[in-house]
A = this chain, B = another copy of it.
Amino acid sequence: MDGIIAAPMSQRPIIIAVIGGSNAAHKDLDAAYQVGLELAKRGAIVLCGGMTGVMEAVCKGAKEAGGTTVGIMPGNNVEDANDYIDIAIPTGLGFARNAIVARAGGAIIAIDGAYGTLSEIGHGLSDGTPVVGLNTWQFIIDGKEDTTIERADNPLDAVEKALAYAEGRRA
């Protein structure tokens, strides 16, 4: 067993979780596609919920740039993964899988405003995973906005912010 090239954590590719609804507006799908493309160009693995909408668009972008995609799926059947998922993990957990998606990346990019996305943002903020928002939910409590989510101006900005967070966390 000599001569093996180990893959210790510092050398593993960074994983970025991208969250967003299964039914999204055209502009959000475009943004997701660009996010996937830019993440893959920078060598990051795209992890998502594995289904349609934002999840499919971000994987499509990542695959166009030759990246790797992982889908943490709610159901039991690998066949339900979108066509741009390389590694499909059918958890069978339903929406409880959102907690895994929110934890599995070095940072989260949240796009669009589905309720599942809301739960994933909540999980991410609970866990201390940095969340970068791109046209997504704002949260108000006691009349004041919670500004923990870092807002991005565009897909490239979101990618750069998320990667900076993820790199910082493993430094």
* Chain A: number of interface residues, binned into ranges: 35 or more
Which one of B64, B100, B116, B136 contacts A3 once the chains associate, using CB atoms below 8 Å?
Answer: B64
Q: A100 and B91: CB pair below 8 A?
A: yes
Separation of A85 and B135 alpha carbons in the complex (Å):
34
Min Cβ gap A115→B in Å is 4
Q: B113 and A117: CB pair below 8 A?
A: no
Which one of B83, B123, B126, B138 contacts A7 once the chains associate, using CB atoms below 8 Å?
Answer: B83
- With contact pairs A116-B122, A118-B122, A137-B140 given, residues A5 and B63 touching in the complex (Cβ less than 8 Å): yes
Q: A63 and B7: CB pair below 8 A?
A: yes
Assess whether A119 is interfacial by the CB under 8 Å rule.
yes
Which one of B78, B81, B96, B113 contacts A93 once the chains associate, using CB atoms below 8 Å?
Answer: B96
Q: Which residues of B contact A156 (CB under 8 A)?
A: none
Separation of A99 and B104 alpha carbons in the complex (Å):
17
Contact with B along A76-106 (1 / 0, CB 8 A): 1011010111111111111110111011100
Separation of A79 and B170 alpha carbons in the complex (Å):
9
Chain B minimum-CB-distance residue to A116: B126
Chain B minimum-CB-distance residue to A3: B64
Assess whether A171 is interfacial by the CB under 8 Å rule.
no
